[in-house]
Structure 1
Amino acid sequence: MMPRCALELLRRCSDSRRFNYLVDASKFGYRSISSSSPLTSGSPSCSSSIGYATSCATLSEAQPRQSHSSDMLVDSFGRFHNYLRISLTERCNLRCQYCMPAEGVELTPSSELLSHDEIIRVADLFVSSGVDKIRLTGGEPTIRKDIEDICLHLSSLKGLKTLAMTTNGIVLSKKLPKLKECGLNAINISLDTLVPAKFEFMTRRKGQGRVMESIDTAIELGYNPVKINCVVMRGVNDDEICNFVELTKLKPINVRFIEFMPFDGNVWNVKKLVPYAEMLDKVRGQFKDVKRLQDHPTDTAKNFKVDGHCGTISFITSMTEHFCAGCNRLRLLADGNFKVCLFGPSEVSLRDPLRAGVDDLELKEIIGAAVKRKKAAHAGMFDIAKTTNRPMIHIGG
């Protein structure tokens, strides 16, 4: 006989227009819906209205699977994932060309985004299972009205060591003092050019001066290093690489040069890609004694320091030299979908089971199964460019 909790769960999930997954008494199973597969009419909960690939729970005939917090975050290749990136919103006050299509994106209705309490509950589940670093992303996380309260609750989770944020810096200078009080202890600020007119071209908005002000505010508040994320594109800002390196001379800044990556709507072209090796050659051509630093096994970046400079520089080589073997990152999207690989199209909804009333053990089974399906490495550069994936603003920076 089916247990009462399972019957209740099935009752709650009986409205197929709201949920497109089924539950049996013992476990959640999964299937991957490709972008070409027909989507259930009126079922926004497990697939975006744009039709991107996701994974949702469905009836499974497999044997019950035992899941424990000790192995929930370990994939089939033995990688332990202690780093969770949480997107708080799909909205942004910039329109960066590599992040958002020129025509904009269809935003998820507010009612289908994770609430404050849902974010804290899921984060608590991950932290209690071994995650010790959370990064808040967007969209632009600072435009979420409850950002301070979210930081306060997350920073109080027992076992969390690092609460970080990636932001465009437009409104950060005013909010950062309070955010630091609420436990935000690491900051990445996106800045792709030091030229105000070029900033307006790249982001389709004004505001370069405000970003520079936010960088200075972060330094004054004691963030060390203040990380600057710079997406390098040929013919756009590759002529500024050495100017960015110069920023590290007197300030505790880590400039992170990021290879241009393909996402839906950003018109990626291999001709725009400036490979890491080429960027490093430019730096070494102008700065003498550029030293290679020791990287952590899970680092996404290759780290360097110019002799005599206060700060450092790094290169994130997602396209030319992937770092999948040491990947320890997982992503929770603003709509509650769980993504185990930035470049992988598969997603599984955590929001829908949450709202169906599942308990923590069942939620851990869903998470653990998704982590176990993570591949050894993402596809090659040109295969990534052809893979259906969401725009970066939907995924989270």
Structure 2
Amino acid sequence: MMPLGCLSELARRQRRWPGHAIDAMRVGLQCLTRTTDSLRFSYSYATSCADVPEVLPSETPLSDMLVDSFGRFHNYLRISLTERCNLRCQYCMPAEGVELTPNTELLSHDEIIRVAGLFVTSGVDKIRLTGGEPTVRKDIEDICLHLSGLKGLKTLAMTTNGLVLSKKLPKLKECGVNALNISLDTLVPAKFEFMTRRKGHSKVIESIDAAIELGYKSVKINCVVMRGMNDDEICDFVEMTRYKPVNVRFIEFMPFDGNVWNVKKLVPYAEMMDKVRQRFKGLERLQDHPSETAKNFKIDGHAGTISFITSMTEHFCAGCNRLRLLADGNLKVCLFGPSEVSLREPIRAGVDDAGLREIISTAVKRKKDKHAGMFDIAKTANRPMIHIGG
């Protein structure tokens, strides 16, 4: 007989998704597993993060493949197309670079489209292409064209350093890319060269302007804030939004292998907000979607907006709806978690779509309720950001 708690879980899922087929045996196994795992997690996964409330999916999932054991529905997939990059940003990789995965062990064009199709038919409606630097992949336009043609996909976004984007953007827009995040950590050309170990500041600015001119309504500028490096430019970036219809996103410095993270380099959200409030009046908080990673604000009289991504000091794990497919075909269910599962190996072993769905579902169900907190993350082995994807 199924335990009472598991029966309650079954009833709760049936109320949540009326008319959706619920596998009672799977629910029972998940419930029992969660019960036995909870004691282990209480010791091995202690964190200062707040308790995670239940997050209901905004729409009825097409299947339970993308629903984890905490009720989070993952309708957002980030796909890393390459580990290669034409910059060497200090927070992304060590100075000596990283060892790249051989091309034969990276997902091919057809493998990317196949896996993406499985996710979209299961409920993913947003895909973001990352890297490395996605624009250095030679078949980027063709990949975008095929992905944008997937029925059910609403948003095809790209995160890029903007170095060559201005030349490629008209074609990428034709191929279906409808949202952009452009990384820019400084407005000072000399500092840009120091932080990225390469030249090209003017090209990034050119790409931002090109995106605006092409009519992109969602142009986000990602700025990783580091103490002693660019924290003196926060208000300069805010000033950029006075005339440019962009969303500047200030990102707390996060620890990854090889980026020499130190809490002293972290500029917390509260401190950044204080700087903005002292300089700008009429700051108003916008309504955030439950799955939003950023705290969003507008300033009276400004064409653009500003946001803060507070991964370290105020996590947003409760609303997480994101999964990551790495360039080598590994699925990563949490940016800060070391656990990965290969999809490339079963694909090349001939596993059919049903088998791949089961592998994905099992990985999603194992996702933890929240990350371990910045100090534990800093001590946990994880890949460099260049391998994971921006």
Equivalent position to 1:185, from 178, 185, 199: 178
Q: Deviations over 1:299-358 (max 9, x none)?
A: 000000111101000000000000000000000000000000000000000000000011
Contact 1:69 1:364 in 2 (8 A): no
Matched-pair contact (CA < 8 Å) for 1:73–1:80? yes
- Aligned to 1:201, which of 171, 175, 194? 194
Report the residue type matching 2:281 in the other structure.
K
Aligned match of 1:95 in 82, 88, 97?
88
2:362 to 366, 369, 374: 369
Find the counterpart in structure 2 of residue 215 from structure 1. 208
How far the C-alpha of 1:283 sits from its partner, in A, is 0.4
Residue number among 97, 104, 110 corresponding to 2:103 in the alignment: 110
**1:56-82 Cα distance to aligned partner (Å, 9 max, x none):** xxxxxxxxxxxx961000000000000
Name the structure 1 match of 2:281.
288
Would the aligned equivalents of 1:79 and 1:326 in 2 still touch at CA under 8 Å?
yes
**In 1, Cα distance between equivalents of 2:139 and 2:263:** 39
Q: TM-score, normalised to structure 1's length?
A: 0.83
CA distance in structure 2 between the aligned counterparts of 1:161 and 1:293, rounded to whole angstroms: 23
Select which of 293, 302, 309 maps to 2:295.
302
Which residue is 1:390 aligned to? 383
Pair 1:349-2:342 in alignment: yes
* Cα deviation 1:35-93 (Å, max 9, x = unaligned): xxxxxxxxxxxxxxxxxxxxxxxxxxxxxxxxx96100000000000000000000000
Structure 1's consecutive aligned runs of 4 or more residues displaced over 2 angstroms after TM superposition are none
Q: Does 1:253 align with 2:242?
A: no
- Residue 42 of structure 2 is matched in structure 1 by none
Could you say what secondary structure the match of 2:65 adopts? coil
- Partners of 2:231 and 2:148 in 1: CA distance: 37
Partner residue in 2 for 1:146: 139
Deviation at 1:225, TM superposition (A): 2.9
Structure 1 unmatched runs, 5+: 1-67
Residue 79 of structure 1 corresponds to 72
Separation in structure 1 between the aligned mates of residue 314 and residue 361 of structure 2, nearest angstrom: 28
Q: Read off the aligned partner of 1:114 and give its amino acid letter.
A: L
Q: How does 1:157-196 map to 2 (within 5 A)?
A: 157-196=150-189
- Contact persistence 1:77–1:376 (CA under 8 A): yes
Residues 124-143 of structure 1: pairs in structure 2 closer than 5 A: 124-143=117-136
Instruction: Looking at secondary structure, tell me which structure has more helix per residue.
Output: 2
Structure 2: unaligned runs, 5 residues or longer: 1-60
Matching residue's letter, 1:344: G
3-state DSSP of counterpart to 1:280: helix
1:231 aligns with 2:221: no
- Note the C-alpha offset of 1:103: 1.3
Contact 1:148 1:182 in 2 (8 A): yes
SS of equivalent to 2:301? coil
Counterpart selection for 2:237 from 244, 269, 285:
244
Amino acid of the structure 2 residue aligned with 1:205: R
Partner residue of 1:12? none
Q: Which residue of 2 aligns with 1:263?
A: 256
2:306 paired residue number: 313
Separation in 2, partners of 1:262, 1:219:
32
Q: Tell me by how many angstroms 1:289 deviates.
A: 1.2
Aligned length: 330
- Encode CA deviations 1:163-210: one digit per residue, 9 max, x unaligned: 000000000000000000000000000000000000000000000000
Equivalent position amino acid for 2:81 in 1: L
Please say if residues 76 and 373 of structure 1, whose CA atoms lie closer than 8 Å, have aligned partners that are also in contact: yes
Indicate the percent of aligned positions where both proteins have the same amino acid. 86
Question: Aligned partners of 1:392, 1:225: CA distance in 2, in Å?
Answer: 24
AA partner of residue 259 (structure 2): N
Aligned match of 2:319 in 322, 326, 329?
A: 326
Q: Please state whether the residue corresponding to 1:72 is helix, strand or coil.
A: helix
Give the C-alpha shift of residue 380 in structure 1: 1.1
Amino acid across the alignment from 1:269: N
Task: Tell me the amino acid that sits aligned with residue 315 of structure 1.
Answer: F
Equivalent-residue separation in structure 1 for 2:141 and 2:237 (angstroms): 30
Post-superposition shift, 1:251?
1.3
Letter paired with 2:317: C
- Aligned partners of 1:262, 1:98: CA distance in 2, in Å? 8
- Tell me how far 1:120 sits from its aligned partner: 0.1
Q: TM-score, normalised on structure 2?
A: 0.84
Alignment check: 8 A CA contact 1:225 1:311 kept: no
